[in-house]
Amino acid sequence: MTEQQALQDPIVRTGDRFAHVVIVYLVALLLTLPLFIILYPYVPALVIPFGDGLKVDHLLTFTGLLMAFIVLVRRFQTVVYAVLITGLLGLTITGLLGQYGFSDMYRDYADLLRDLRERSLNTPMASRKLAPFNDAEKLKALVTDPTGTVRREAVRMATANFVDVPLESGEFTFVQSLSIFKEINGRWRYVSDVKGGEYFAPPAESLELMAGDCDDHALLMAACIKAIGGEVRLIRTEGHVYPELLVGDEAGLERAGYLIRKVLFTREVGDAPLYHHTDADGRHWINLDYTRPYPGGELMNERIVGILDI
């Protein structure tokens, strides 16, 4: 070996090692992505009590899978590479035969990514210690004792939309509640209370005016939905009040997300994510705020300070 070759040899070996590490990481990443997409919906939410709550379950899941595959590829690289090469050859052959090929795999993978993006996002209850809900009894009385006018208008709004949508058993009240949401939010106009004061408009008054501030909207929405048998609650943040509608367990949440995104509010939602809260009993709730044109819209970034069950 010449002197020049001796000097170049460490550089070559370093380059080979670097290329090997890159290949190992790329192969591990290739294996991690589809498994992460499949497993992530079943991973319990993990929120660090930092600021408004830092959600880290997705990061920990992805990192854990990636590290596991890096170790696996390094230890059994011959077997892993053989499996990958066999799979690539198989895809090439089936693609040439007009069966399942690379384009089909790309489409399926894109569908998986879209499904992940379209899942409902659980948002933490930002405040660990909830304060008493101001004027709770007054608000409960306004919501739970609606006049005949409120009941009649609630029925009219509940049947104004989505009447031809094929539904499963037990979904009628939920979908009718979303019809009420569509009717109210399509007409609602924001008007502030008098400066330095607080006024809670009776739902019958808000029905006539279709205007008011956030608590007036929340009271009207809650009163109308309760009048047709839906279950709602009021959420108070540091500067806002909005209603939430119960959608139930995991199966109910998945079905609600499908109906909202694919059937009832397709144009309004687009590819935006849906948001929900999960209470201590594992039940899921979606917001019906006037700030978004569809149920489950992005929440205002404010700390929750009170929840009023009505």
Per-residue pLDDT tens digits for 224-250: 999 999 999 999 988 889 999 999 998
**Mean predicted confidence (pLDDT) in 180-204:** 92
Query: Is pLDDT of 118 > 70?
Result: no
Where does the pLDDT of residue 127 fall: very low under 50, low under 70, confident under 90, or very high at 90 and above? Answer: very low
Query: Is pLDDT of 150 > 50?
Result: yes
Residues 200, 290, single domain; the answer is yes
The answer to whether residue 127 sits within a structural domain is no
The answer to whether residue 48 sits within a structural domain is yes
Per-residue pLDDT tens digits for 27-52: 888 778 777 766 766 676 666 665 54
Where does the pLDDT of residue 255 fall: very low under 50, low under 70, confident under 90, or very high at 90 and above? Answer: very high
Q: What pLDDT is attached to residue 60?
A: 85
**What angle do helix axes 3-39 and 102-117 make, rounded to 10 degrees?**
60
**Mean predicted confidence (pLDDT) in 271-281:** 86
Residues 95, 117, single domain; the answer is yes
Residues 248, 216, single domain; the answer is yes
Per-residue pLDDT tens digits for 17-33: 777 778 888 888 877 87
Task: Of 78-82, 198-202, 220-224, give the range with the top mean pLDDT.
Answer: 220-224
The answer to whether residue 131 sits within a structural domain is no
Pick the last residue of a domain from 99, 122, 145.
Answer: 122
Residues 244, 201, single domain; the answer is yes
**Mean predicted confidence (pLDDT) in 7-13:** 54
The domain in which residue 96 lies consists of 3-122
Q: What pLDDT is attached to residue 228?
A: 95
Nearest one of 119, 231, 243, 120 to 170, comparing CA atoms: 231
pTM for the structure as a whole: 0.64
Residues 207, 245, single domain; the answer is yes
Residues 253, 186, single domain; the answer is yes
- Assign residue 173 a region (left: φ > 0; alpha: ψ between -120 and 50; beta: otherwise): alpha
The answer to whether residue 223 sits within a structural domain is yes
Pick the last residue of a domain from 92, 122, 152.
Answer: 122
Q: What pLDDT is attached to residue 281?
A: 86
* DSSP β-ladder status, 241-248 and 284-287: antiparallel
SS (H, E, C) the chain: CCHHHHHHHHHHHHHHHHHHHHHHHHHHHHHHHHHHHHHHHHCCCCEECCCCCEECHHHHHHHHHHHHHHHHHHHCHHHHHHHHHHHHHHHHHHHHCCCCCHHHHHHHHHHHHHHHHCCEEECCCCCCCCCCCCCHHHHHHHHHCCCHHHHHHHHHHHCCCCCCCCCCCCCHHHHHHHHHHHHHHHHCEECCCCCCCCCCCCHHHHHHHCEECHHHHHHHHHHHHHHCCCCEEEEEECCCEEEEEEEECHHHHHHHHHHHHHHHCHHHHCCCCEEEEECCCCCEEEECCCCCCCCCCCCCCCCEEEEEEC
Residues 158, 99, single domain; the answer is no
Tokens 């499996």 correspond to: 83
Pick the last residue of a domain from 122, 148, 171.
Answer: 122
The answer to whether residue 129 sits within a structural domain is no
The half-sphere exposure of 68 on its side-chain side, counting CA atoms within 13 A, is 11
* CA dist., res. 287 & res. 276, Å (int): 7
Task: Of 77-86, 91-100, 290-299, give the range with the top mean pLDDT.
Answer: 290-299
The answer to whether residue 67 sits within a structural domain is yes
Residues 118, 144, single domain; the answer is no
Query: Is pLDDT of 129 > 90?
Result: no
The answer to whether residue 225 sits within a structural domain is yes
Query: How many separate domains does the chain show?
Result: 2
Residues 64, 143, single domain; the answer is no
